[in-house]
Amino acid sequence: MGDLIPGATRRTLQVGALAFTAYEIGEGPLVLLVHGFPDTPATWRYLAPELARAGYRAVAVTCRGYEASSMSPDGDFGLASLIDDVLGWLDALDAERAHLIGHDWGSSLVQLAAAKAPHRVASLTVLAVAHPAAFAALLPTDLEQLERSWYIFLLQRPDLPEVLIAGSGLLDHFWRRWSPGWTPDAEVIAAMTAAFADPEVARSALSYYRRAFDTEHPRWSEAAALLAAPIPVPTLGLAGARDGCVAAELFQRALPPEVFQAEREISVLPGVGHFLHLEAPDTVGAAIIKRLRADKARSST
């Protein structure tokens, strides 16, 4: 997993007792890139260099538990701790503020980091997964989305998901189902396969589903407050019209203006699915850079 992002420099971000591998490319305003499941920083192999060419410093970080050095000794995958990771990465990068971009689980984390520390977030870009609390509120009334979300209930079961990941191609199935008709990049799949070959990584990644929303966690009240908090940060939401994981229509509804109280822009891209930034890198990159430049122009006036 050495050269996940062409041209990027590999570095380590220390946050408390945990060490996170990051990939940095470019100079300029900081853009922090946070991946989802089942994925790695390789998911940013197109967007990070594009941001660098546009005059930004792009840093893609490996999320908690996706490598041995960031596996919490106490098995803590509580939502409040995952949010602290995002803000801790900014500290490790000596950054007072940054643009945050997240995909899938990373999308949820950057949104809640913006809710906790909006003064540290210049702008927010969310890909494929909308606000987690708004999504959860809408889910019981949407039978089509319940069918798409079957995997969430599967991944919370004990032991069985690990067996399916190890021997039944479950992760490859997710990629095919969530982005139908698209063949994933060999480099991205190779990086995922290498990471999840470690059973502890698989267990950690599954802990996001099993423990992040654990109401018995000692910091659950803090997490619950952030789930209910407004996000006063300019936000761009991008979804794929063919997303087999989260329906584009539900994605739009789950970015409500009562939560996203600053400028909010939502676009659904035709012909692409859940991994839209890999399927249509030029289109997604152009939309993000256009928004970043607009935010810069607005803040300078």
Is residue 188, in this structure, part of any structural domain at all? yes
Structural domain count of the chain? 1
Is residue 53, in this structure, part of any structural domain at all? yes
pTM of the model: 0.97
SS3 content of the chain, % helix, strand, coil (to 5): 50, 15, 35
Is residue 242, in this structure, part of any structural domain at all? yes
In whole angstroms, give the CA distance from residue 217 to residue 8.
37
Tokens 């490859």 sit at which residue? 172
Q: How far is CA 129 from CA 76, 110, 247, 287, in A?
A: 23, 11, 9, 17
CATH number of the domain that residue 202 is part of:
3.40.50.1820
Rg (CA), the chain: 18
Is residue 54, in this structure, part of any structural domain at all? yes
In whole angstroms, give the CA distance from residue 188 to residue 160.
25
Domain that holds residue 163: 9-299
Is residue 3, in this structure, part of any structural domain at all? no
Is residue 66, in this structure, part of any structural domain at all? yes
pLDDT in tens, 227-274: 999 999 999 999 999 999 999 999 999 999 999 999 999 999 999 999
Please name which of 153, 145, 109 lies closest in space to residue 246, comparing C-alpha atoms: 145
Residue 2, pLDDT score: 46
pLDDT in tens, 115-131: 999 999 999 999 999 99
Over the chain (301 residues), what is each successive 10-residue block's mean pLDDT? 84 97 98 98 98 98 98 93 98 98 98 98 98 96 95 93 93 97 95 96 96 94 98 98 98 98 97 98 98 76 50
99's CB contacts (< 8 A; 6+ apart) are 29, 30, 31, 32, 56, 121, 122, 123, 124, 125, 292, 295
In whole angstroms, give the CA distance from residue 61 to residue 43.
11
Is residue 4, in this structure, part of any structural domain at all? no
Is residue 1, in this structure, part of any structural domain at all? no
